[in-house]
Every structure is written in C-alpha cells, then in structure tokens.
Amino acid sequence: MELNNRIDFVYIFDIQDGNPNGDPDAGNLPRVDPETGLGLITDVCLKRKVRNYVQVAKQGQDGFDIFIREGAILNNAIDQSYEAPKVKEAKTQDKSLAARQVMCQRYFDVRTFGAVMSTGKNAGQVRGPIQLTFARSVSPINAMEHSITRMAVTTEKEAQKQEGGNRTMGRKSTVPYGLYICHGFISANLAKQTGFSTDDLQLFFDALRNMFDLDRSAARGLMSARRLIVFEHSSELGNAPANLLFDRVTVTPNTDVPRAFADYSINVNADNLPAGITIQELI
C-alpha cells in the first residue's frame, strides 16, 4: 500500500564495552564531538546495519535486493538495469528514468535511502524517503584503549625473533557505556516517487528493532535498541514541525557517570498533541 502520511521518529539505542562506529581518521577510535565530548555515530553506519538486516531477512527476494552491499560493483548493477524489458523498450531520452524505476523496484535500499546512479549507464539520482541524522550520545563518552595479547604470531620470522614466545600485542578501543539518540524523517511524497510502501516501512521498523542482534562482533560489545518513538502525521505534508515533536522526548541521566540504561529516565510527553499527530512507541 502507498504511504500517505509523513512520519518523524526518535530512535534510542545504547552500547556497553564496545566501539559503535570507529573513525578511520583517528586510529578507529569511537567518534566524538571534540567540543562537547558527546559520542557520534554516522547515519551511514546505521543505514549499513539496516541493509544487512534486510539482506539476511529477505535472502535476496525479488524487490528486496541490496544495492550498496559488501564487495558490490555498483556500475554492474546499474548496467544490468538497462537489460530490463521496460528500459530496452523506452525511447532514448526516457531510458534513464526507466532504469531508475527498475533500480527502485529491485533494490530496497535505493527506494528507501536513495542513491546516485550516474556513474555507469545513467540511472539518474534517487532521493530516498527515509533520512537519518547522526546519532549523538546523551552524556559525554570516555573513549578507552585497551592493550590486548594474541598468543600467536603471523610469520616464522616473528617466531624466531621472539625465540618461541610467539605473542603479538594489539589495541582495542571501547566506550564503557553510551546512550545514543537518532532522529529520522519519512517523506510520503518521496515514498510515492520511489515506490516505498507501507510493507517497506514495516520492514524498516523491524530492522531498527532487531538489527543489532544480527550484527554482533567482539569490537561492538553489547548494542541494544531501547526505544522507537514514532510521530505520525495525518497528512502528506505534515501537521507540525519535526523539532517540536522531538522536544517532547526527554532523556535525563540520573547519575553523574551513567553506566547502564537504568541510569537514565526517558519521558514522552503525549499531552496536548498538535491536531493530526499520533504517537506510537514501537519499542
């Protein structure tokens, strides 16, 4: 079914003893706002986890393939869209539009987040209906580095140098605890342009609820989805500014050094909502 209502949402998640999003320009340390000490996680990182969830959940079903996937050659996928019958039959000036429609139909992430597809055979550019902000931690984080030991070496030369000691030292970066907030926006108007449906929306929300359970690694520690608060408008254009709706969600630390989700209080003010706005708490 077509999506006919604008939606804004607040996504709250946390991490314990892990690195949620390392910065390759800073030795892969957790990303931090240098002026405030608040932790940052890019929208690209979160979208990657959504893509990975959909890839596993749908197993490449028609209409749910992933365009930006690990090891992909993007131009090959764009070029393949030109082999679709509707593109071959289109007039020369219409082939780019037809190819863009094929890409939206085939790839969940294209019709959800959008994509630039003009690097090979031109399939144009798609502006996706779902946009995410960077996630920012509620409290300052303390990025820690730990020395670790591997009881093995890589080469025979290293073993000879250590005279059989065979140990390798390394470093591991973690955040002891961080509670992060991300804001999201879903445009009904752009959803109609890409073919993003209510079923796609349900799959996206399923991903936000469950994606951390499919993304476990030693580096990321314990990441958990904590709250998903959805503001639905009764119209396509919306009934209230997103920032005023987001202000209704307050997260307050109860201690100077939070180390668990229980150390925060979360309040959602549902009183005197603007006309045409409804709230759902999906987590």
Can you tell me the mean pLDDT for 126-130?
94
Q: Is residue 162 part of a domain?
A: no
Q: What is the pLDDT of residue 94?
A: 83
DSSP state, residue 269: -
Q: What is the pLDDT of residue 75?
A: 86
Q: What's the mean pLDDT when you consider all of the chain?
A: 90
Residue 178 structural domain: 7-146+172-281
Q: What is the pLDDT of residue 44?
A: 95
Q: How far is CA 259 from the centre of its chain?
A: 24
| pLDDT band per the 50, 70, 90 thresholds, residue 150 | confident
The residue that leads in pLDDT, 132 or 159, is: 132
From the CB of residue 252, how many other CB atoms can be counted at a distance below 10 Å? 10
The residue that leads in pLDDT, 195 or 89, is: 195
The residue that leads in pLDDT, 73 or 225, is: 225
Q: How far is CA 105 from the centre of its chain?
A: 21
Count how many domains the chain has.
Answer: 1
Q: Is residue 100 part of a domain?
A: yes
Q: Is residue 116 part of a domain?
A: yes
Q: Are 118 and 124 in contact (CB under 8 A)?
A: yes
Assessment of whether the complete model's pTM goes beyond 0.85: yes
Q: Are 169 and 151 in contact (CB under 8 A)?
A: no
Backbone angles phi, psi at 161, to 5 degrees: -65, -35
Gap between the Cα atoms of 232 and 145, Å rounded:
42
Q: Which of 85-89, 145-149, 168-172 has the highest mean pLDDT?
A: 85-89
Q: What is the pLDDT of residue 163?
A: 65
Can you tell me the mean pLDDT for 17-27?
90
Q: What is the pLDDT of residue 119?
A: 75
Q: What is the pLDDT of residue 80?
A: 85
145, two tokens: 């580095």
pLDDT of 1 strictly over 70:
yes
Cα distances (angstroms) measured from residue 21 to each of 3, 219, 235, 261: 32, 10, 36, 19
Q: Tell me the pLDDT tens digit for each residue of 155-192.
A: 777 776 776 676 766 778 889 999 999 999 999 999 99
Q: What is the pLDDT of residue 88?
A: 77
Q: Which of 65, 7, 74 is closest to 238 using CA atoms?
A: 7
Q: Is residue 156 part of a domain?
A: no
Q: Is residue 181 part of a domain?
A: yes
Residue with tokens 């946009």: 131
Q: Is residue 35 part of a domain?
A: yes
Q: Tell me the pLDDT tens digit for each residue of 95-109.
A: 888 888 999 999 999
Q: What is the pLDDT of residue 74?
A: 83
Q: Is residue 163 part of a domain?
A: no
Q: Tell me the pLDDT tens digit for each residue of 60-81.
A: 899 999 998 888 788 888 888 8
Q: What is the pLDDT of residue 219?
A: 83
Residue with tokens 């989805």: 225
Gap between the Cα atoms of 90 and 230, Å rounded:
40
Q: Are 12 and 266 in contact (CB under 8 A)?
A: yes
Q: Are 71 and 174 in contact (CB under 8 A)?
A: no
Q: Tell me the pLDDT tens digit for each residue of 32-43.
A: 999 999 999 999
Three-state DSSP class for 81?
A: helix
> Helices in the chain by DSSP H: which ranges?
43-58, 74-81, 85-89, 95-106, 108-113, 156-161, 188-194, 198-210, 242-246
**Which of 89-103, 163-177, 208-222, 264-278 is the least confident region?**
163-177
Q: Is residue 221 part of a domain?
A: yes
The residue that leads in pLDDT, 135 or 125, is: 135
Q: What is the pLDDT of residue 211?
A: 95
109, two tokens: 């992430």
Helices 198-210 and 43-58 pack at an angle, to 10 degrees, of 110
Dihedral (C-alpha) 124, 125, 129, 135: value to the nearest 10 degrees? Answer: 150
The greatest distance separating any two alpha carbons of the chain, rounded to the nearest whole angstrom, comes to 76
